[in-house]
Amino acid sequence: MELLYPDYKSTRLRAPRRDRIQLPRVTTERTGPALWDSRVAPTDHDLTAQHDGEPLGERIIVGGRVLEAGGRPVADTLVEVWQCNAAGRYRHQGDQHPAPLDPSFTGLGRCLTGADGSFAFVTIKPGAYPWGNHHNAWRPAHIHFSVFGRAFTQRLVTQMYFPGDPLFGQDPIYQSAGDAAGRLVAAFDLERTQPEWALAYRWDIVLARTPFEDA
Protein backbone atom coordinates (compact mmCIF):
# COMPACT_ATOMS: atom_id res chain seq x y z
CA MET A 1 0.00 0.00 0.00
CA GLU A 2 1.18 3.54 -0.81
CA LEU A 3 2.02 5.33 2.43
CA LEU A 4 2.41 8.82 0.97
CA TYR A 5 -0.96 10.53 0.63
CA PRO A 6 -0.17 14.24 0.33
CA ASP A 7 -3.74 15.38 1.06
CA TYR A 8 -3.15 13.99 4.56
CA LYS A 9 -0.37 16.41 5.39
CA SER A 10 1.31 14.40 8.13
CA THR A 11 2.25 11.69 5.64
CA ARG A 12 4.58 14.09 3.78
CA LEU A 13 7.46 13.96 6.24
CA ARG A 14 6.65 10.59 7.74
CA ALA A 15 5.77 8.14 4.97
CA PRO A 16 8.86 6.11 4.08
CA ARG A 17 9.85 6.83 0.47
CA ARG A 18 12.00 3.85 -0.45
CA ASP A 19 10.63 0.51 -1.56
CA ARG A 20 9.97 -1.82 1.30
CA ILE A 21 12.03 -5.00 1.21
CA GLN A 22 10.29 -8.30 0.76
CA LEU A 23 11.65 -10.64 3.44
CA PRO A 24 13.59 -13.55 1.89
CA ARG A 25 11.75 -15.85 4.30
CA VAL A 26 9.16 -14.91 6.90
CA THR A 27 10.27 -16.57 10.14
CA THR A 28 9.87 -14.58 13.37
CA GLU A 29 6.83 -12.77 12.01
CA ARG A 30 4.94 -16.02 11.32
CA THR A 31 3.92 -16.09 14.96
CA GLY A 32 2.54 -13.40 17.21
CA PRO A 33 1.57 -12.68 20.78
CA ALA A 34 -1.29 -14.87 22.00
CA LEU A 35 -1.71 -14.93 25.78
CA TRP A 36 -4.10 -12.09 26.40
CA ASP A 37 -6.34 -13.18 29.30
CA SER A 38 -4.58 -10.99 31.83
CA ARG A 39 -5.04 -7.92 29.63
CA VAL A 40 -8.82 -7.90 29.62
CA ALA A 41 -11.20 -7.41 32.54
CA PRO A 42 -14.76 -8.73 32.11
CA THR A 43 -16.26 -5.23 31.86
CA ASP A 44 -13.65 -3.74 29.53
CA HIS A 45 -15.96 -4.20 26.53
CA ASP A 46 -18.47 -1.72 28.00
CA LEU A 47 -17.21 1.84 27.61
CA THR A 48 -20.36 3.17 29.29
CA ALA A 49 -19.70 1.32 32.57
CA GLN A 50 -16.23 2.53 33.55
CA HIS A 51 -17.27 5.40 35.83
CA ASP A 52 -19.88 6.01 38.51
CA GLY A 53 -22.11 7.85 36.08
CA GLU A 54 -23.09 7.04 32.51
CA PRO A 55 -21.52 9.02 29.67
CA LEU A 56 -23.63 11.45 27.68
CA GLY A 57 -24.42 10.59 24.10
CA GLU A 58 -26.18 8.04 21.97
CA ARG A 59 -25.63 4.55 23.42
CA ILE A 60 -24.66 2.05 20.71
CA ILE A 61 -23.54 -1.56 20.36
CA VAL A 62 -20.72 -2.23 17.90
CA GLY A 63 -20.15 -5.88 17.06
CA GLY A 64 -18.78 -8.14 14.40
CA ARG A 65 -16.22 -10.82 13.77
CA VAL A 66 -12.48 -10.94 13.20
CA LEU A 67 -11.77 -13.12 10.16
CA GLU A 68 -8.86 -14.00 7.94
CA ALA A 69 -9.04 -13.28 4.24
CA GLY A 70 -9.94 -16.92 3.63
CA GLY A 71 -12.99 -16.47 5.86
CA ARG A 72 -11.64 -18.38 8.86
CA PRO A 73 -12.54 -16.79 12.21
CA VAL A 74 -9.73 -15.61 14.50
CA ALA A 75 -10.55 -16.74 18.04
CA ASP A 76 -9.11 -15.43 21.32
CA THR A 77 -7.38 -12.44 19.81
CA LEU A 78 -7.15 -9.07 21.53
CA VAL A 79 -9.25 -6.21 20.16
CA GLU A 80 -8.50 -2.75 21.56
CA VAL A 81 -10.60 0.32 20.74
CA TRP A 82 -10.35 4.01 21.53
CA GLN A 83 -12.49 6.98 20.61
CA CYS A 84 -13.51 10.53 21.46
CA ASN A 85 -16.66 11.30 23.43
CA ALA A 86 -20.06 12.31 22.06
CA ALA A 87 -18.92 15.93 21.84
CA GLY A 88 -15.91 15.08 19.71
CA ARG A 89 -13.23 15.42 22.41
CA TYR A 90 -10.55 12.86 23.30
CA ARG A 91 -9.40 12.38 26.86
CA HIS A 92 -5.85 13.25 25.85
CA GLN A 93 -3.74 16.26 26.75
CA GLY A 94 -2.95 16.85 23.10
CA ASP A 95 -6.59 17.36 22.14
CA GLN A 96 -7.26 21.11 22.19
CA HIS A 97 -10.71 21.05 20.57
CA PRO A 98 -12.88 23.33 22.76
CA ALA A 99 -15.61 20.73 23.28
CA PRO A 100 -16.39 19.42 26.77
CA LEU A 101 -14.73 16.41 28.32
CA ASP A 102 -17.16 13.92 29.82
CA PRO A 103 -16.15 12.87 33.35
CA SER A 104 -18.02 9.60 32.77
CA PHE A 105 -16.17 8.62 29.61
CA THR A 106 -12.58 7.48 29.09
CA GLY A 107 -12.94 6.12 25.57
CA LEU A 108 -10.94 2.90 25.98
CA GLY A 109 -12.31 -0.61 25.41
CA ARG A 110 -10.82 -4.10 25.16
CA CYS A 111 -12.13 -7.59 24.54
CA LEU A 112 -11.07 -11.02 23.35
CA THR A 113 -12.79 -12.54 20.35
CA GLY A 114 -14.95 -15.61 20.92
CA ALA A 115 -14.49 -19.03 19.32
CA ASP A 116 -16.31 -17.75 16.20
CA GLY A 117 -14.15 -14.61 16.04
CA SER A 118 -16.95 -12.44 17.44
CA PHE A 119 -16.54 -9.26 19.44
CA ALA A 120 -18.97 -6.67 20.80
CA PHE A 121 -18.56 -3.31 22.50
CA VAL A 122 -21.11 -1.11 24.21
CA THR A 123 -20.21 2.55 23.84
CA ILE A 124 -21.58 5.94 22.83
CA LYS A 125 -21.46 7.26 19.30
CA PRO A 126 -18.33 9.42 18.95
CA GLY A 127 -18.74 12.97 17.68
CA ALA A 128 -17.13 14.58 14.65
CA TYR A 129 -14.30 17.01 15.40
CA PRO A 130 -12.20 19.58 13.57
CA TRP A 131 -8.48 19.13 12.89
CA GLY A 132 -5.83 21.29 11.31
CA ASN A 133 -5.15 19.35 8.13
CA HIS A 134 -6.79 21.87 5.79
CA HIS A 135 -9.33 24.70 5.94
CA ASN A 136 -12.52 23.58 7.69
CA ALA A 137 -11.28 20.00 8.02
CA TRP A 138 -13.48 17.70 10.12
CA ARG A 139 -13.00 14.04 10.88
CA PRO A 140 -16.05 11.85 10.30
CA ALA A 141 -17.18 10.03 13.45
CA HIS A 142 -14.95 6.98 13.93
CA ILE A 143 -13.72 4.40 16.42
CA HIS A 144 -10.06 3.32 16.36
CA PHE A 145 -9.54 -0.46 16.32
CA SER A 146 -6.37 -2.45 17.05
CA VAL A 147 -6.34 -6.19 16.26
CA PHE A 148 -3.53 -8.74 16.61
CA GLY A 149 -4.50 -11.91 14.72
CA ARG A 150 -2.41 -15.09 14.71
CA ALA A 151 0.82 -13.72 13.29
CA PHE A 152 2.80 -10.50 13.53
CA THR A 153 2.22 -10.15 9.77
CA GLN A 154 -1.51 -9.76 10.46
CA ARG A 155 -1.21 -6.88 12.91
CA LEU A 156 -3.84 -4.28 12.01
CA VAL A 157 -4.74 -0.85 13.33
CA THR A 158 -7.61 0.84 11.56
CA GLN A 159 -10.71 3.00 12.02
CA MET A 160 -14.40 2.15 11.83
CA TYR A 161 -16.87 4.68 10.44
CA PHE A 162 -20.66 5.04 10.51
CA PRO A 163 -22.87 4.65 7.43
CA GLY A 164 -23.84 7.71 5.44
CA ASP A 165 -21.49 10.16 7.13
CA PRO A 166 -21.53 13.43 5.13
CA LEU A 167 -17.86 14.07 5.99
CA PHE A 168 -16.37 11.13 4.04
CA GLY A 169 -15.88 13.19 0.89
CA GLN A 170 -13.52 15.71 2.47
CA ASP A 171 -11.61 13.43 4.86
CA PRO A 172 -8.21 12.45 3.46
CA ILE A 173 -7.69 9.71 6.05
CA TYR A 174 -10.87 7.94 4.97
CA GLN A 175 -10.08 8.68 1.30
CA SER A 176 -6.54 7.29 1.62
CA ALA A 177 -8.03 3.78 1.63
CA GLY A 178 -9.16 4.36 -1.97
CA ASP A 179 -11.54 1.78 -3.39
CA ALA A 180 -11.32 -0.19 -0.15
CA ALA A 181 -12.63 2.68 2.03
CA GLY A 182 -16.15 1.26 2.00
CA ARG A 183 -14.85 -1.70 4.03
CA LEU A 184 -14.20 0.72 6.89
CA VAL A 185 -17.90 1.58 7.21
CA ALA A 186 -20.10 -0.38 9.62
CA ALA A 187 -23.63 -1.41 8.68
CA PHE A 188 -26.63 -0.44 10.75
CA ASP A 189 -27.88 -3.66 12.35
CA LEU A 190 -31.57 -3.61 13.25
CA GLU A 191 -31.46 -7.24 14.34
CA ARG A 192 -28.98 -6.57 17.11
CA THR A 193 -30.50 -3.26 18.05
CA GLN A 194 -31.89 -3.61 21.55
CA PRO A 195 -35.39 -2.16 21.90
CA GLU A 196 -35.69 0.73 24.35
CA TRP A 197 -31.93 0.69 24.88
CA ALA A 198 -29.35 0.98 22.07
CA LEU A 199 -28.87 1.01 18.29
CA ALA A 200 -26.46 -1.56 16.92
CA TYR A 201 -23.84 -1.51 14.17
CA ARG A 202 -22.12 -4.48 12.59
CA TRP A 203 -18.57 -4.46 11.29
CA ASP A 204 -16.39 -7.43 10.38
CA ILE A 205 -12.63 -7.03 10.42
CA VAL A 206 -10.72 -9.06 7.85
CA LEU A 207 -7.00 -9.66 8.41
CA ALA A 208 -4.47 -10.49 5.72
CA ARG A 209 -3.67 -14.11 5.03
CA THR A 210 -0.57 -15.31 6.78
CA PRO A 211 2.40 -15.71 4.42
CA PHE A 212 2.88 -19.39 5.21
CA GLU A 213 -0.66 -20.11 4.02
CA ASP A 214 0.12 -18.49 0.71
CA ALA A 215 3.33 -20.44 0.27
Partner 1 sequence: MPDPTPPQTVGPFFAIGLSWDDGPEVVARDSEDAIVLRGTVFDGDGAPVPDAILETWQEPGEGCRGFGRCPTDGGGSWEIVTRKPTAGGGEAPHIAVALFARGLLDRVPTRIYFGDEEQANAADPLLSSLGPERRATLIAAPEDGGYRFDIHLQGDRETVFISF
111 vs 194 by CB, closer to partner 1 = 111
Sign of CA pseudo-dihedral 182, 186, 190, 191: positive
Cα atoms found within 13 Å of the Cα of residue 129, Cβ hemisphere only: 22
CB burial class (10 A; 0-12, 13-18, 19+) of residue 18? Answer: exposed
In the set 104, 118, 159, 193, which binds partner 1 (CB under 8 A)? 159
In the set 82, 119, 121, 201, which binds partner 1 (CB under 8 A)? 82
42 vs 71 by CB, closer to partner 1 = 71
Q: Would you give the binding string for partner 1 spanning residues 109-148, x where CB under 8 A is met?
A: x----------------------------------x-x--
CA distance 147 to 117: 11
**Within 13-52, which residues bind partner 1 (CB under 8 A)?**
13-18, 20-29, 31-33, 35, 39
Instruction: Find, among 174, 179, 119, the residue nearest to 148 by Cα.
Output: 119
5 is catalytic: no
93 vs 136 by CB, closer to partner 1 = 93
